[in-house]
Amino acid sequence: MTQKQLHQQRLIREAEKAVMQMNTRRHFLKESAMGLGALALGSLFGSCASKGPQSSSVVFDPAHPLMPKLPPFAAKAKSVIYLHMAGAPSQLELFDYKPELMKMDGQDCPQSLLEGKKFAFIRGVPKMLGPQAKFAQHGNSRAWVSENMPHLASIVDEISFLKAVTTDQFNHAPAQLMVHTGSARLGRPSIGSWATYGLGTENQNLPGFVVLTSGGKNPDAGKSVWGSGFLPSVYQGVQCRSEGDPVLFIKDPEGMDRDLRKASIDAINQVNAEEYKTYNDPEILSRISQYEMAYKMQISAPEVMNINNEPAYIHEMYGTQPGHGCFANNVLLARKLVEKGVRFVQLFDWGWDSHGTDASLAIDLGFINKCRSVDKCITALILDLKQRGLLEETLVVWGGEFGRTPMMENREGKQNPYKGRDHHTEAFTMWMAGAGIKKGFSYGETDEIGYSAISGKVEPFDIQATILNQLGFDHEKLTYDFQGRPFRLTDTRGKVITDILS
């Protein structure tokens, strides 16, 4: 036998052995030690992975991201209208009546209130500033409301006040992010995004999350307060306008008719569908569904967003100014949107930052005008929702991003030209109404001068948890996997404020 033959024979034997080995019991057991182990490990890990239904209560379907979904619990609220007074209104001139503070008016602020504290603008020792409005008790609930909101005072029996809200951010942008995204830093999804992620939207011809701004400026934190963060982009708030086209570029350009539009969207979708076949990226499916929604919105949005087809007495009730972009128009629009099944409507009204640096930001001038511009329409909103049977299933939330100091602001140690108050994080007032919230109730108390919360203290996380609770979610279970861990709106905090639930 030559060397070559020997070699060949050995190869053949080796191959035969290899084949035979595949069929031996010993080989099977030996090899499967690792294989089965890995399988078992996989299933063990699988049970602690967050993909399971126990962890997140939401199933995400990329092809139909806005498909209406069911919440884990029967929801009290189908929709939310969130009225954000951007800039932070003064609780001391609206709902938190502090006669003791009046007695201290003009005196130097006691050192005990300043030690170890940081303020946005107050430096040195500021003077105390008594309430700049007259207060009275209203309704059967005897709620204190100032003369600045005479209309709202008439419906306090529909509302639950939260008198001791606190936050840990004293600048507008982080505080706004905190209230709406549960984090003072950028990059987290907003509460409306979480809601539409969890529930989709019932009206497939309209976006599920609509944002309306007024007051001449977007909120300080920019569009991130209605951004989708790490959630699929389809869940971000759609900013609409109450004058002109409701959504920019919603009209077909001149010379393009509806059929041509349809044909072009079909063509784009076809290209996208091909692309999906190649890459299997679920975001492409989301894109296709967004094109389809945009096409449908071209018809439905202008109709819903047009407040001119409302009767005159409704316009009077809300005090709208058709043709102008104002808060009252947005409030009326919010009702129309909710009526049409939009899940989350977020309103921002800028101009509440009453520092006293000029007349429009003075607590006894501009602030009162701001109050007047929102009082009538918010009252109308509550009553209008109520008479349409919608308040039972619509949660209305009102608030700012923080409160204002019981001290008069002395910017950089110098007296401001007008009466104003600095940013304050330790106590402010918010209120909620509708959808399973107690009527005519007040929760939480502040100390004699409204400086800090003494009971019923809640933080933005608690409010978020409560909103999600009313929408039918356990805020601890509404999660999204990102960067290797499940994220949630309330992060590691948040307690449902059960005391205000009816």
The only residue of 369, 413, 414, 415 in contact with other proteins, by rule CB under 8 A: 369
| Residue 499 binds to other proteins (criterion: CB under 8 A) | yes
| Residue 332 binds to other proteins (criterion: CB under 8 A) | no
Q: Which one, of 247, 231, 239, lies nearest residue 196 by Cα?
A: 231
Shortest distance, position 367 Cβ to other proteins, whole Å: 9
Which residue, 184 or 471, has its beta carbon nearer to other proteins? 471
| Residue 258 binds to other proteins (criterion: CB under 8 A) | no
Residue 499 is given by DSSP the state G
- Report the distance separating Cα 189 and Cα 186, nearest Å: 9
The only residue of 116, 253, 255, 389 in contact with other proteins, by rule CB under 8 A: 389
What values do phi and psi take at 222, rounded to 5? Answer: 70, -160
Token pair 């409030």 is found at 331
Indicate the length of the chain as a whole number. 502
* Site map 296..325 versus other proteins, x via CB under 8 A: --------------------xxxx------
Shortest distance, position 432 Cβ to other proteins, whole Å: 16
Three-class secondary structure of residue 272 per DSSP: helix
Shortest distance, position 502 Cβ to other proteins, whole Å: 9
Give 481's strand partners: 486
- Report the distance separating Cα 420 and Cα 417, nearest Å: 9
Exposed / middle / buried, residue 302 (Cβ in 10 Å: 0-12, 13-18, 19+)? middle
The interface region with other proteins, picked from 2-10, 196-204, 261-269, 405-413 by CB under 8 A, is: 196-204
| Residue 101 binds to other proteins (criterion: CB under 8 A) | no
Contacts of 495 (CB under 8 A, 6+ apart): 461, 462, 465
Token pair 């072009």 is found at 264
Tell me which H or E stretch contains 314.
helix 312-318
* Site map 149..188 versus other proteins, x via CB under 8 A: -xx--x----------------------------------
* Site map 342..361 versus other proteins, x via CB under 8 A: -----------------x--
Contacts of 396 (CB under 8 A, 6+ apart): 80, 81, 83, 381, 382, 385, 432, 433, 434
How many alpha carbons lie under 13 Å from residue 365 in its C-beta half-sphere? 12
- Report the distance separating Cα 360 and Cα 362, nearest Å: 6
Tell me which H or E stretch contains 79.
strand 79-86
Site residue total, other proteins (CB under 8 A): 48
Residue pair 208/66 in contact (Cβ under 8 Å)? The answer is yes
Which residue, 241 or 457, has its beta carbon nearer to other proteins? 457
* Site map 446..475 versus other proteins, x via CB under 8 A: ---------xxx--------------x---
Shortest distance, position 464 Cβ to other proteins, whole Å: 17
The interface region with other proteins, picked from 29-37, 38-46, 238-246, 374-382 by CB under 8 A, is: 374-382
Which residue, 284 or 433, has its beta carbon nearer to other proteins? 433
> Within positions 61 to 90, which residues make up the interface with other proteins, using CB under 8 A?
68-76
| Residue 380 binds to other proteins (criterion: CB under 8 A) | yes
Residue ranges binding other proteins (CB under 8 A):
57, 68-76, 150-151, 154, 202-205, 316-319, 340-341, 359, 362, 364-366, 368-369, 372, 375-376, 379-380, 383-384, 386-389, 392, 455-457, 472, 498-499
